[in-house]
Amino acid sequence: MTTTPDNRFDRQTRFAPFGTAGQAKLEQASVFLLGAGALGGVIAQSLVRSGVGRLVFADRDSVDWTNLPRQVLFEDRHAAASTPKAWAALEALERIGGPTRLEAHATHVDADNLVELSAGCDVLLDGSDNLETRYLLNDLAVKSDRPWVYAGVIGGGGLVMPIRPNVGPCLRCLFPEPPPPGTLETCDTSGVLMPAVGSVASLAAGMALRLLVDPAGTPLRLMEIDAWHGELRTLSIPRHPECPACGKRTFPFLEAPLSERTLTLCGRNTVQVRGQGVEVDLDAMARRLAQAASRVERLGPLLRAELDGHRVTLFRDGRALIEGTEDRGTALAIYDRFLA
């Protein structure tokens, strides 16, 4: 049979719990996805291929060679050019076709811009790689009464939890406060496998479709997948009346002042340094760095330079990735010396 716009979604509408009514709801829906890397790439591809009406996604990072074994939207050429993940993901998703309207943002997401970026979105999705960002998403979801899906992967498995604020538990019912720094495993210490990424992200995408099509029927429980041992466990989490977010209605992650200037990126030997929120003239900066840098390269929406033995990627919003170190002091010194 020749594929036409009329039968593109024929197989999923034949799934009785979804049906043509579900497809119609999906095509009117708008979704915000934070992160376009490992988890985010699989989630984004699933939603676009399913025909979600609008997908807004944001990612602060650039494609690295170490991303390619598990991040499905990227190719060698993206890693060779250190293409911003948001732009590389947009290119890959546009090739799929279909009705989805795509909106990509190559930017760091925090309390200063999350509300604006996610405006008009019905569901918030987690494709991030750090707990602070997930607490931020939870604050916004609870405060704005929007559902979201928490997802995390490490090693051979991970966790998924669909959340409907004021109906079931939120993330802070499960984890009231962030753990002390250095107490959680990371992809640096434990690695991560593509089958684990695919399993967790596919389940997260499935829960997102369920929240959009049948929110009342969505199972609001924590699900743990172990792709290495072939195990799936579920845990019912009670809604906690003293939860700082959905119980006491406090939102420190969303309402906090500017976050710390630096953030160490998982598995990258890279520190991100935030700017001051002022747009940078990258052409002028390139001229300024010409004498100090061993190499300066202007690459569309970013500037790359070799400074003091480190590769530095500078974005228009003043954000910079300082590669070759995990020491925040070193990264700040390079930023303040050359870019401030």
- Does some domain include residue 60? yes
User: Do residues 167 and 54 both lie within one domain?
Assistant: yes
User: How many distinct structural domains can be found in the chain?
Assistant: 2
Question: Does residue 2 register a pLDDT over 50?
Answer: no
> In the beta sheet, which residues pair with residue 311?
306
Can 173 be counted among the known catalytic residues? no
User: Do residues 22 and 160 both lie within one domain?
Assistant: yes
- Cβ-based neighbours of 30, under 8 Å, separated by 6 or more: 52, 53, 54, 55, 56, 120, 121, 122
- Does some domain include residue 4? no
- Does some domain include residue 70? yes
Of 96, 51, 97, 102, the C-alpha closest to 72 is: 96
CA distances from 281 to 113, 274, 308 (A): 21, 16, 22
Question: Does residue 182 register a pLDDT over 50?
Answer: no
CATH number at residue 333: 3.30.310.10
- Does some domain include residue 180? yes
User: Do residues 15 and 114 both lie within one domain?
Assistant: yes
DSSP state of 184: S
pLDDT for 93: 98
**Residue at which a domain ends, from 221, 255, 289:** 255
Give the separation between CA 291 and CA 307, rounded to whole angstroms. 10
Quick: pLDDT tens for 267-311: 788 998 887 667 888 998 898 888 888 899 998 889 999 998 999
pLDDT for 158: 95
Of 211, 58, 56, 59, the C-alpha closest to 146 is: 211
DSSP state of 303: E
User: Do residues 285 and 184 both lie within one domain?
Assistant: no
Of 135, 179, 168, 137, the C-alpha closest to 247 is: 168
Quick: pLDDT tens for 246-275: 999 999 988 865 446 778 787 788 998 887
Report whether 117 contacts 109 (CB < 8 A).
yes
CATH number at residue 34: 3.40.50.720
Which alpha helices (H) appear in 83-149, and where do they start and end?
Answer: 85-96, 114-117, 131-144
**Residue at which a domain ends, from 216, 238, 255:** 255
- Does some domain include residue 2? no
**Residue at which a domain ends, from 255, 281, 304:** 255
Residue 207 phi/psi, 5-degree rounding, is -65, -35
pTM above 0.85, yes or no: no
Report the pLDDT averaged over residues 116-124. Answer: 97
- Does some domain include residue 1? no
For the chain, how many helices (H) and strands (E)? 13, 14
| Catalytic-role residue among 121, 187, 243, 246 | 187
User: Do residues 234 and 281 both lie within one domain?
Assistant: no
> How many residues would you count in the chain?
340
* Domain encompassing residue 57: 10-255
pLDDT for 227: 95
pLDDT for 288: 86
pLDDT for 1: 39
User: Do residues 224 and 328 both lie within one domain?
Assistant: no
pLDDT for 71: 95
